[in-house]
Structure 1
């Protein structure tokens, strides 16, 4: 694995600052937010200077019960080619559940949810990782995620789960030390124990990010400064292996460039404080032809994930064995994130609705699980307000109606809503 050095997550809001920032060896971009045919000029300039760009996927759902979607895999492969990337990364998580496998409605989380650390879930994850590896032109690395909830009856620790995943697939690891800290607060898991159990020589690079604790729960916000506790986990990791790359993640609430530079300097100091002399080279295990995971195994995993996701986004009962309080915290966090992302993909909605946007969207989210992505969600939200007369009167209603009509396309539902609006008028 090539040495990456110190990097930062590239975001449009800080693109100019990243270009001018000293000591940035590489950047990471959200794969789904990058169009291969229309790369931002900032990324083009960084690449021309020799800065490595790595696409980081968030929607593949490798931990889900279904096999990876071939179109999503093709899109990830296309971005790796367009960016000249040495690897691509994704998450050990599920992001949707239900559908034909479980004979239940397909639901989307809009966020990364933890897979159970069971042998069934590991079998499914390993096969999904192999499918992804065979579809990508460069190596794949997968990331441990932060979790607010714990699955009952788990059979392995996180370190054991990751060790077996690497041993069976040869996949590389993207270790997020902020997520290890999150799981320490939320699940009582010791980061040092996880690091001691996992194959650190398989690490492709490391994520570092900030968050905040509220009411005894740590929220992995990517919108706050990196705390000392996370830097301590980074130093512990660096004492065990020299990480090929370390990257600072920040997704919103961006500070001044000088503050980001100070955080990068703190990250370098934390790695130096660990100071592992050498990193053992990672030699991927030989991949033998593995038997296909039985459909019954995928179905068992799928039924469990569908029950959890339906409880979180559709208000069905909390499955037996789960902490009801934590499930409630997770449900509210998902709804809040959903409102935030819809406001980003459709900024006209909060601009039109003003202070009424957020309470109206959260009320809508309680009644309407997401099933078609955030852009579809924005349209469905506006349609609900218009068809039920909740958009207010006068100018806001007219502006929202025009916005929706301009974007909804020529669909039968659009015609029905037109007629409903005409009847109201």
Structure 2
């Protein structure tokens, strides 16, 4: 595996600081946030200096019951080629559920959710990874994720699950030590055991990030300093193997560049501390295993289970049997809060127009309106919902919000035509008729 060195997650908010930081060997960029034909100038300058850039995907949903979407795979491949990357990375997670496989509505989580550590989930994940590997021009590495809850009746530990996954597919592993700490706090899992069970030869690189604890739950925020327990897990990993690369993640609440540089120094020190004790640490040898085959019924069982769980989290349906209701409540609130925050980022005009009313209005909307088409669609649907409900109360804000919605929602019918006549005249399919009707109402 190529040696990457020490890196940091590239984000537009800290792009200038990253360019000036000493000792940055490589950066990671969220794949969905860059366009191959219009790469940020900062990334181009880093590449010209010989800094490696790795695209990190967040929306593929390799752990979902459906096979990976060809369009998303093509987009990930295009970004790898545009950036000249030696590999691409994604997550061992599902991000959507439902659809034709389960004859239920397709729902979007807007977040990385854990797959059950079962043989069904492992079989499906292995096949999905093989599909992805065949479609990508460079090697793939997959990341263990943080979770607020556990699935009932799991059959494997995290380390066993990752070991078999790498053994059966040859996929590389992106080991997130902050996520191991999260799962220690939230699910009582031993990070040392996970490290002891990992296939060390499969590690591509390591993520390090911060978070915070509230009411006994650890939130992997990527918005706080890296805590000592995470650095200790990193040292424990480095005591077993020299990681090819280590990267600091920070997604918001960015500190001064000097603070980021201190965190990078702490990361280097943890790796050195672990390496100093490596000679006394036994390394687990790989055991021969059979490749295994996907069982056709596994996809349907996994799909039904994931759809039921996601519906409980975002649509308020009953919690499936065996889950911790309190923890799922925490997860549901976290998903709604994240959804409100991301919509505010992709459509900053909405909180500007609605002011302090934006967040409570969005959270109330989210309770009865699961996301089905991504965050930009979500922003439009929320604005439409607010307008149809006769809000906001201030006439000026209503006009501003209506103008914003009409500008972004496509061609609108002429304002003087009654909605019923418009529906009969256009002959559009039902879904488009409904939208045309709503637009007519919103224009009044």
Give me the TM-score of the superposition, normalised by structure 1. 0.96
Q: For the residues of structure 2 that align with 1:294 and 1:159, how far apart are their CA atoms?
A: 23
Which residue of the partner structure matches residue 420 of structure 1? 441
3-state SS of 1:322 partner: coil
Superposed displacement of residue 13, structure 1 = 0.4
Which residue of the partner structure matches residue 2 of structure 2? 2
CA change 1:285–1:340 in 2 (3 A) is farther
Superposed displacement of residue 390, structure 1 = 2.0
Which residue of the partner structure matches residue 108 of structure 2? 108
3-state SS of 2:239 partner: helix
Which residue of the partner structure matches residue 187 of structure 1? 187
User: CA-to-partner distance for each residue in 1:267-317, whole Å, 9 max, x for gaps?
Assistant: 000000001669999x999999864x3432100000000000000000000
Which residue of the partner structure matches residue 323 of structure 1? 324
Q: For the residues of structure 2 that align with 1:376 and 1:405, how far apart are their CA atoms?
A: 13
Q: Is the 8 A contact 1:35 1:79 kept in 2?
A: yes
User: CA-to-partner distance for each residue in 1:63-86, whole Å, 9 max, x for gaps?
Assistant: 000000000000000000000000
Q: How does 1:189-208 map to 2 (within 5 A)?
A: 189-208=189-208
3-state SS of 1:335 partner: helix
1:264 to 2:264 alignment: yes
Q: Is the 8 A contact 2:343 2:376 kept in 1?
A: yes
Q: For the residues of structure 2 that align with 1:409 and 1:422, how far apart are their CA atoms?
A: 13
Q: How does 1:99-138 map to 2 (within 5 A)?
A: 99-138=99-138
Which residue of the partner structure matches residue 298 of structure 2? 297
3-state SS of 1:275 partner: helix
CA change 1:232–1:289 in 2 (3 A) is closer
Q: How does 1:380-419 map to 2 (within 5 A)?
A: 380-410=381-411, 412-419=433-440
Unaligned segments of structure 1, at least 5 residues: none
* The structure with more radius of gyration: 2
3-state SS of 1:110 partner: strand
Q: How does 1:23-422 map to 2 (within 5 A)?
A: 23-275=23-275, 291=293, 293-410=294-411, 412-422=433-443
Q: For the residues of structure 1 that align with 2:272 and 2:116, how far apart are their CA atoms?
A: 35
User: CA-to-partner distance for each residue in 1:148-205, whole Å, 9 max, x for gaps?
Assistant: 0100000000000000001100000000000000000000000000000111221100
3-state SS of 1:240 partner: coil
Q: For the residues of structure 1 that align with 2:247 and 2:398, how far apart are their CA atoms?
A: 44
CA change 1:422–1:25 in 2 (3 A) is closer
Which residue of the partner structure matches residue 423 of structure 2? none
Q: For the residues of structure 2 that align with 1:211 and 1:137, how far apart are their CA atoms?
A: 34
CA change 1:345–1:280 in 2 (3 A) is farther
3-state SS of 1:253 partner: coil
Q: For the residues of structure 1 that align with 2:282 and 2:112, how far apart are their CA atoms?
A: 31
CA change 1:396–1:112 in 2 (3 A) is same
Superposed displacement of residue 415, structure 1 = 3.0
Q: Is the 8 A contact 2:123 2:292 kept in 1?
A: no
Q: For the residues of structure 2 that align with 1:52 and 1:285, how far apart are their CA atoms?
A: 33
Which residue of the partner structure matches residue 428 of structure 2? none
